[in-house]
Structure 1
Amino acid sequence: MRRSIIKVESLLLVFVGLVGLLFILQGSKDREETENQPVLTPRVTLEPAERKKLEWVSHCKRNSSAESIEGFSKLPAHIQNFLRYRHCRSFPKILNAPKKCGGKSASNEVFLLLAIKSSPGNYERRAIIRQTWGEEHQYNGANVKRIFLSGTSTNEKEDKHLRQLLKIESETYGDILQWDFHDTFFNLTLKQFLFHQWLEGYCPGANFIFNGDDDVFVNTFNVVTYLRGLKADNHLFVGQLIANVGPIRESGSKYYVPVQVTSSNSYPMYCGGGGILMSRYTAHAIYNQSFEIPLFPIDDVYLGMCLAKAGLVPASHMGMRTVGVRVPSIKLDSFNPCYYRELLMVHRFVPYQMLVMWKAIQDPHLDCGQKLSLYIDK
């Protein structure tokens, strides 16, 4: 009886094994047939120029109605693109620095945040700023932090390598904010808007913000001393004041703004974008108003528009020179550190000048003798 049971079990095992083998063989055949079949994908044909435009707006839809504006076809290509994509404000971050200010709740411990606009390829400028006026430490007891604001290169081949460069910088210094939009002159306003958005999310408590270019020289010690007597929750927006000007209508100018962009012939008062100091209160006000104002191609003018809408007024500071300084005589050296020792910010410096001047103004043996007069360049 026991031998019969064993024989039946053996037959069942053989049967189950054969069924399993057939199942495996059939499955392999099905997979092979599936893999050999062509994969059907939607056919989307884009002209090379259109492909580039889609990449430029980072998936933001083109506003074709802008092309019906009178005179649109005669405008330069960069202004046409600005009008087509003016409404685009949402671009993904490629690189972020979420802990730059120690977290949202601890950000009020940052006395001064240096927010520096820098194109991807300007590595040497960023490197010198890190060694000089942008060094992160305590300046007379004030906690100073640094962040660089960047987009992407318009050159596709170059962009691949520059993204790698910025990634290395980010991993090494933790001071890069990069968004997926082309870093061009007309996109500086977009960069400004996205920075204020980042500020609200990651560093809303920073007491004061210096917002400037990567070719300026800042005397960080003087800036901290000046800000010490001010309150972060009061309005502050100072720089080199510009008033009673309007759009440049000459098409050959870098600052050309046609009537298709704005019909107004005047700008509100604003400060030159090379370097501006603002308080926490004012930075929040600008951000809140920016949602109500369409992007404008000139970034410093756009900030003036936001201030005007908020009922705030920009102010001038003689220590902030966005057009450089000039000396009383051609016989004098305009690079003499005695001209810069008392200033807050000067535009424009090449990298080696930043390093030389930073060392010079801190030299305890610097003898300026009779006080030198400074003049704003006209």
Structure 2
Amino acid sequence: MTRAAVLGAGSWGTTFAKVLVEAGNDVTLWARRESLAEQINSTHRNSGYLPGIELPDALAATHDAAAALDGADLVAFAIPSQTLRENLLGWAPHLAADATLISLMKGVELGTTKRMSEVISEVAAAPAERIAVVTGPNLAPEIAARQPTATVIACTDEARGAAVQARCSTPYFRPYTNTDVIGCELGGAVKNVIALACGIGQGMGFGHNSVASIITRGLAEIARLGQQLGADPLTFAGLAGLGDLVASCNSPIARNRTFGERLGRGETIEQAQEATHGQVAEGVKSCRSVLELAQHHDVDVPITAAVDAVCSGAMTPRRMVELLMSRSVKSEGSRPVTAP
């Protein structure tokens, strides 16, 4: 039986821990708040993040990260992306030398523009082949309720990726493997920003045509950036690209979309944050780091730039739409249209 630790007891971390237990692993879930760890152990519930979901009796929770990591040969990180480096500095000494390290996070680090697997590799001094990424259409409440879903396990080491695949396969959770870590991570990170844009449009009262247009042009942004960074273009047509994007842009339980809706209705960042009970909409912070990454590689990402301007307070949602719609007309293949 695999000994696994999941660090982060939010909705996705708790859900993935549940999946691992139900796939037959010995799992310990680390919670930042001791009271939450006690609630999980005593009631088998995480009512603040997964209301109505009963957790397995075999799932143990702790507030002690060192205890959670003791003997773990599979370690999954499920914390806000911008807090990873700081937390991992304290956790790294407790990681087993050959443990498989799994990123459940979807973001790009502010300041460094590093993907989460790159931060893990740097701070934990772990080679890339020891790091896997779980991504795709992973709306936690649905998975926690055992609704069928597919996901991607991305790892440059095919054998290790297949081992992770085997350790988290259940009748309702079907993982596929992929060696394109760059493409899978970019798909997950940038889709949060595009989902914010879709939410803003919906909050302003726009309909399905508008949302479909944002999704499609957003996918083009993701693919352009991914191609420049060396990703496989086919990745963006799969679960880590289109699949994750569609789920996040359309679901009323997707955090970034619902956060964007509030901005589109005229709420401030602070008001929207308060209304979501402190749960993190990763795209709000990642939009700046994704934009910086794109600018560094000279890639045009107009939707990301517009969302960043709205989130920073430099632009209103209505002005965002005006600017996007006033861009010069082009071929869909990005070649400018010239007069006959």
Q: Which has the higher strand share?
A: 1
Give 1 or 2 for the bigger CA radius of gyration.
1
Which structure has the higher relative contact order (CA within 8 Å, separation 6+)? Answer: 1
Q: Which has the higher helix share?
A: 2
| Length-normalised TM-score, structure 1 | 0.26
| Length-normalised TM-score, structure 2 | 0.29
